[in-house]
Structure 1
């Protein structure tokens, strides 16, 4: 069942967005450090919203002036692994990658050269975004995410707030 928050987030992401060239002010506002606030996943088949990274995930995104982006996002309550099974389980609460990005209207496209999942290296990852004051809201396209592939096609709704550098 969709939550009110999820519907509001999706409406915010889709309202007032116009495709086309990147606006210089958005590019300048996107640059810098962003602290992860929430990470939810919507399951395409059911519409279910899942807090896959817990209620209090941790992480950062950083957009450099040279147009490189870095992401390190981790789930709540991670504990050090003591065996291979525990190390494998940690994979489900980690998203990490970097690459050069370009803006195209309300989205960025990152060409990845390093990623926590080797399948992503060399790929282009597209994300829609909105900037609202000190908040950055991100919506991924539908895809099968390696971290929770058992859910089928999902998309992530990720919220950041401006970090202190």
Structure 2
């Protein structure tokens, strides 16, 4: 997460090297799965809670508008996202896709998420 005003990195909720995939289908569906770099097997109630917090996933139909894609979420790890539209800007540079979330305010600071994806060959 980056502070929008200072451009400083505030925190990385999934560590410096998360693992994941983003898939854009020919039928205009996106699927995103990200896991934390230090994810452990779930053991007991506390372990299950930690496992859930170290996983980020959603899917839905997307549409392109200028340099943005907007996803109508129809399934997600966080049920609060279902039915929402999530807008992201993107930039492609060779085999690298950079996706930025819209700015959001948390604890009095405005931040945005920036994800860099490399095409799998």
Which TM-score bucket, shorter chain as reference?
Answer: 0.7 to 0.9
Q: Tell me which residue corresponds to 2:112.
A: 155
Q: Tell me which residue corresponds to 2:98.
A: 137
CA positional deviation for 1:46 = 6.9
Decide whether the 8 Å contact of 1:43 with 1:151 is kept in 2. no
Q: After superposition, where does 1:41-60 map in structure 2 within 5 Å?
A: 41-44=1-4, 48-49=8-9, 50-60=11-21
**Of Structure 1 and Structure 2, which has the larger fraction of its residues in strand?**
2
Could you say which structure has the greater relative contact order, defined with CA pairs below 8 angstroms and 6 or more residues apart? 1
Tell me the secondary structure at the aligned position of residue 111 of structure 1: strand
Tell me the secondary structure at the aligned position of residue 119 of structure 1: helix
2-structure distance, mates of 1:150, 1:91: 22
- For structure 1, which runs of at least 5 residues remain unmatched after alignment? 1-40
1-structure distance, mates of 2:64, 2:36: 28
Seen in structure 2, the aligned counterparts of structure 1 residues 142 and 101 have a Cα distance that, compared at 3 Å, is same
Count matched residues.
Answer: 120
- For structure 2, which runs of at least 5 residues remain unmatched after alignment? none
